[in-house]
Every structure is written in C-alpha cells, then in structure tokens.
Amino acid sequence: MEIRFHGHACFEIIGEQGRILIDPFLRDNPTADIGPEEFTHLDGILVSHGHADHLGDAIEISRKTGAPIIGVFELARLCAKYGANTHAMHIGGKHTFNFGTVRLTQALHGSVFEPREEEESYTYAGLACGFLIQMEGKWLYHAGDTGLFGDMELIGRRHPLEVAILPIGDNYTMGQEEAVYATNLLRPKVVIPMHYSTFPLIQQDPAEFVDLLDRKFPASKGKILIPGQSLMI
C-alpha cells in the first residue's frame, strides 16, 4: 500500500483494491504538488470537515470521477446539493467499500461548508471527524484537524495502527508536543506529520517534531513527507 502526500492534509492512498484521496485541498494550496485535474479515477474521497483547506476540490473531483465524497451526514448532504456523489456516515460508524473499510472518529474541531466562490456564505456542516481506514489488512489513522483527546488511547488499543497521520501546526490543531503525546496514546508504528507550514500562522519545523518523538516515544518512528513523496507500508 502506498501513502502519497500532496501537501497540507491531503493524502492519496493506493492499494490493490482501490485508490482514495483524503482532504483534497489542491488548487489553492501553495504547497500542493498536483492539481485536481490530475485525478481521473478514484474510488473514494474522504473529507474530514467543511473548511476550505480540507473540502478543497472534493466536489469538482467527485463530479469528474464519480467517486463518492465520504464524510459526516451533514457535509455529505451539502456536497450532494452541488452535484457530488456522496456516501454519508457519522462518528463511530463504519462501512466497507470496494477499496476497504472506513470508520469515522471524533475530531475536536469545527466545520462549516464554504462552497467555492461563495466564501461569505457559511453553512453548518456537522461535526469534524477523523478516519480509520483498513486496506490490505492494515489500519491507517488520519486524525483530521483535531486537538488532543483521551479517547485516542481507545483508538490505538482497538486498532493496531501501521500509520498515524497527525497535525502538528498548532493554533488551529495540535502542536508538536500534543502530537507526540497523541502518538503515545495511539502507538502506531509510523507517524506522518501534517497540517503545518502551509500558512505563516501554522509554521513548524517537522524535523523538530521527529526529534521530539524520538526522544519521548521512540517506539513510533516519525516520517516526514514532502509533497509528491510516498511511503510504502
């Protein structure tokens, strides 16, 4: 299975049974290595919440590829109004798709729907979420935008995680120290930092996070990806 980073919180997961995209903020992302026009076939588009730097180009890509936007009910319903194919879920629920299984987790964050070119029109988009994804028998956790929460320990206890993808940008999400503590609760084999340095307010040095992780919780290995790079698991 290949985990490919496209900047900010956007990851492409490619497995034997399918290909999915998470939080496809591409066209307006100054760090993205690829644009939405590059995606012609997908099996699912997972969107953690409605903010523009996560919903991004999901509706456009869904219209073009037919891939369902997978997320909480309220956000999925709003995306459907703009012509996207959707599969609505909610936190705690799971569903098996052709590419694998997805379970929604809580994320401590907000969510509004901001359709492109209607930035002054905000609509409540349900709860923010994270994703547990099982493909090829391996569990991957994309935390979405979240602060630290104690039930991360339950996530790690119930799901042997190959990889956890955690925000480190601070201000809007966990910072580096909280992400290290979250790793201690989740106990994944590998941690990939995300949601940092896209904008000045969330500027972080991921090497500092990896160093702190190595000193505080060496059982999990930090892996920095730059946009366009992949990790094979």
Which residue ranges form the domains of the chain, and what is each CATH number?
A: 2-232 (3.60.15.10)
Q: What is the pLDDT of residues 31-83, one digit of tens each?
A: 999 999 999 999 999 999 999 999 999 999 999 999 999 999 999 999 999 99
Percent of all residues in the chain with a pLDDT value above 70, rounded to a whole number: 97
Chain-centroid distance, C-alpha 31:
16
Q: How confident is the model at residue 118 (pLDDT cuts 50, 70, 90)?
A: low
- The CB density around residue 115, as the number of other CB atoms within 10 Å, is 17
What is the pLDDT averaged over residues 164-189? 98
What is the pLDDT averaged over residues 175-181? 97
C-alpha dihedral sign at 186, 72, 112, 55: positive
- Encoding tokens for residue 87? 């599969």
- The CB density around residue 42, as the number of other CB atoms within 10 Å, is 20
- Tell me the C-alpha to C-alpha distance, in Å, between residue 183 and each of 4, 9, 99: 21, 17, 26
Q: How confident is the model at residue 119 (pLDDT cuts 50, 70, 90)?
A: low
C-alpha dihedral sign at 209, 169, 111, 22: negative
Is residue 16 within 8 Å of residue 136, measured between CB atoms?
Answer: yes
> Rounded to whole angstroms, how far apart are CA atoms 144 and 202?
15
Q: How confident is the model at residue 223 (pLDDT cuts 50, 70, 90)?
A: very high
Percent of all residues in the chain with a pLDDT value above 90, rounded to a whole number: 94
Residue 136, CB half-sphere, CA atoms under 13 Å: how many? 14
Residue 117 has pLDDT above 80, yes or no: no
> Rounded to whole angstroms, how far apart are CA atoms 81 and 18?
26
Greater confidence (114 vs 46) lies with 46
Residue 13 has pLDDT above 70, yes or no: yes
Paired residues of 221 in beta bridges: 190
